[in-house]
A and B are shown apart, each in its own frame.
Chain A
Amino acid sequence: MDTALDILTAVLLLGGALMSLAAAVGLLRFPDLLSRMHAATKPQVLGLLLFLLAIAVQQRSWAVVPVLIVCWIFQLLTAPVSAHMVGRAGYRTKHLRKDLLSMDDLDDVVEHAATRRREAGDRASNE
């Protein structure tokens, strides 16, 4: 039983480490900010889950489980926030390659806002 749990711990640890490696390789290889952001934020959450599961399996006590759950829930709450803020700032400062996007949902919105601002400017100069 102990050997099986040890092997499970080892597999979970290796999985978590490989998730970190996936994030790092994505950072290294991907061409622009938005794709790098995807590669960096998603494996991070799953990798942390695997590490926390490894700790739980190795400790085998109920006392640490609430702490681990709290840790993962906070990671789940904060990772999307930072990814959203970085993606938003990246879009606004044009740190993305438009030719790599298959669809740009914000294009219409930006266009619409620009025309409205231009019309408002015309009206103001006519008066």
Chain B
Amino acid sequence: MSVILGIVAVILGISALFAIYRVARGPSILDRVLAVDVLLAIVGGALAADMVFNGHTNSLVILVATSVVGFIASVTVARFVTDKK
């Protein structure tokens, strides 16, 4: 089981690095907010993997909370994006 934990951790780490690269690079602010959204999903996945491997449900509340309010950031930024360079 710890092998699986290692594989999942490596995959999630690589995904997080890709998303962070897009946050740093991303030509527009919309690209960045999209990448931050993906990063939030990756953190949620890491929390879920932790809960599975250690057999507890302590962070389930965080998972529910992020799925409820996680979209507010992107909606807010998208709302106030303008054409100006």
Residues of A at under 8 Å CB distance from B?
A: 6, 9-10, 13-14, 16-18, 20-21, 23-25, 27-28, 33, 36-37, 40-41, 44, 47-48, 51-52, 54-55, 58-59, 64, 67-68, 70-72, 74-75, 78-79, 81-82, 85-86, 88-90, 92-95
**Quick check: A20 and B12 within 8 Å, CB to CB?**
yes
Name A85's contact: one of B4, B11, B31, B75 (CB within 8 Å).
B75
Q: Provided the pairs A33-B31, A95-B28 are in contact, do residues A47 and B41 lie with their beta carbons within 8 angstroms?
A: yes
| B contact residues, range | 35 or more
Provide the residues of chain B in CB contact with A40, threshold 8 Å. Answer: 34-35, 37-38
CA distance A33 to B12 in the complex (A): 23
Provide the residues of chain B in CB contact with A23, threshold 8 Å. Answer: 15, 19, 38, 41
**Quick check: B21 and A17 within 8 Å, CB to CB?**
no
A-B contact pairs, 18 of them (CB 8 A): A6-B1, A10-B1, A10-B4, A17-B15, A23-B38, A24-B15, A24-B42, A40-B38, A41-B37, A51-B45, A54-B48, A54-B52, A67-B60, A82-B37, A82-B74, A86-B33, A89-B79, A95-B27
CA distance A78 to B4 in the complex (A): 30
Name B79's contact: one of A41, A47, A55, A85 (CB within 8 Å).
A85
**Quick check: B71 and A37 within 8 Å, CB to CB?**
no
Most chain-B CB neighbours within 10 Å: which of A20, A55, A82? A20
Closest-by-CB residue of B relative to A23 is: B38
CA distance A64 to B57 in the complex (A): 8
Provide the residues of chain A in CB contact with B30, threshold 8 Å. Answer: 33, 86, 89-90, 93, 95
Provide the residues of chain A in CB contact with B1, threshold 8 Å. Answer: 6, 10
**Quick check: A20 and B79 within 8 Å, CB to CB?**
no
